Structure 1
Amino acid sequence: MGLEQSGFSFFWVLKKQNTSSSSDSFESESKRGMVWRTWAPQIRILAHKSVGGFFTHCGWSSVIEGLQVGCPLIMLPFQNEQFLIAGRMEEKKVGVKVDKNKLDGKFTRDSVAKALRLVMSKEEGKTYRRQAEGMSKIFGNKELNQKYIDEFVDYMEIHKPVVKV
């Protein structure tokens, strides 16, 4: 409902499992978006010029894919390392976390809509959009990433750990 309330069009990829009549109802009633229930080419979608932000749970692979194409993040972490990743990305100003209610730890449709508007349309959101675009020069640089992997492998070859049993 927060996606709808934000006023933006959206493409929401939602796993088919755990469907409920309420999510099916939303899907058929949405005026602004599309809910997709099968695999989708995430990087191709995020790279499209009409995409203004990436609403993500902050799994590392998803964050990398978003930043490869310079897409600012609207972050809703749910578990484990997602909170750490979201915190670090917020420090880097490439996106914002959706505020949660301090009493019960839940997010609301208002907090989702507010975070989306902040990143995608507000004057202060320019910082997030600019920073995410800048990150694409690092995350999207295949040669640089290959160099880092090669250097890491070389380091591991030289400094092989010794395991004594």
Structure 2
Amino acid sequence: TLENIHELALGIELAGVRFLWALRKPAGTGNDEELLPAGFEERTRLRGLVCTGWVPQVTALAHGATGAFLTHCGWGSTIESFAFGLPLVMLPFIIDTPMIARAMAKRGIGVEVARDESDGSFDRDGVAVAVRRVMVEDEGKVFATNAKKLKDLVVDEGRQEQYIHELEDHLRRNKDV
């Protein structure tokens, strides 16, 4: 929603970190509606960029200046972050994404943005706290180390080939079940 976008923007601003934000216009918003809070881009222009067009996510994640990934925790995006060893700031919304976020938090890969338990909402303060925990505070070094360990597993081609062969063998053995 527009309210969610505004809280996310203000949370990123409060966190005080550099950012690239790939922002898609939410369905149902009119052409004349302001997506971002008044003055946000001007206040953050020296440390951030909001792109409303297509952004090559893998290229952005691979860039050496990328220190973390604020994600909705879709499986594809989460796997892409693994390939580059990036810690996560997680803001899941639908279907399986909360489960993925909990699994990543349990493994110490990042933190989930705090939500109000009664209605699932989040606010700018929760966004800022989560971003700062991962990108600024000492705890962020632990998340980064854990993410880099995960990268080593994911980019191990021999291990990935072994998994594929084991899956093929399993499927062949159980094709009639």
For residue 115 of structure 1, report the CA deviation from its aligned partner: 0.3
Choose which of 53, 69, 74 in structure 1 pairs with 2:89.
74
Among 156, 169, 172, which residue is 1:141 paired with?
156
Secondary structure in 1 matching 2:119 = coil
Q: List alignment gaps of at least 5 residues for structure 2.
A: 1-9
TM-score by length of 1: 0.88
> Is it true that 1:47 corresponds to 2:62 in the alignment?
yes
Query: What's the counterpart of residue 11 of structure 1?
Result: 20
Picking from 112, 120, 125, the partner of 1:97 is 112
Amino acid at match of 2:108: K
CA distances 1:74-109 after superposition (whole Å, capped 9, x unpaired): 000101110110001001000100001234321111
Within 2, Cα distance between the matches of 1:141 and 1:16? Answer: 37
SS where residue 20 of structure 2 aligns?
Answer: strand
Output the aligned Cα RMSD. 1.9
Which 5+ residue runs of structure 1 have no aligned equivalent?
Answer: none
**Rounded Cα–Cα distance in structure 1 between residues aligned with 2:25 and 2:39:** 14
Tell me the amino acid that sits aligned with residue 4 of structure 1.
E
Taking a change above 3 Å as real, the CA distance of residues 26 and 82 of structure 1, as seen in their structure-2 partners, is: farther
**Number of paired residues?**
162
8 Å CA contact 1:99–1:107 kept in 2: the answer is yes
Identity, in percent, stands at: 38
TM-score by length of 2: 0.83
Distance (whole Å) between structure 2 residues aligned to residue 37 and residue 150 of structure 1: 41
Q: Which amino acid aligns with 2:131?
A: L
Question: Residue in 2 aligned with 1:113?
Answer: 128
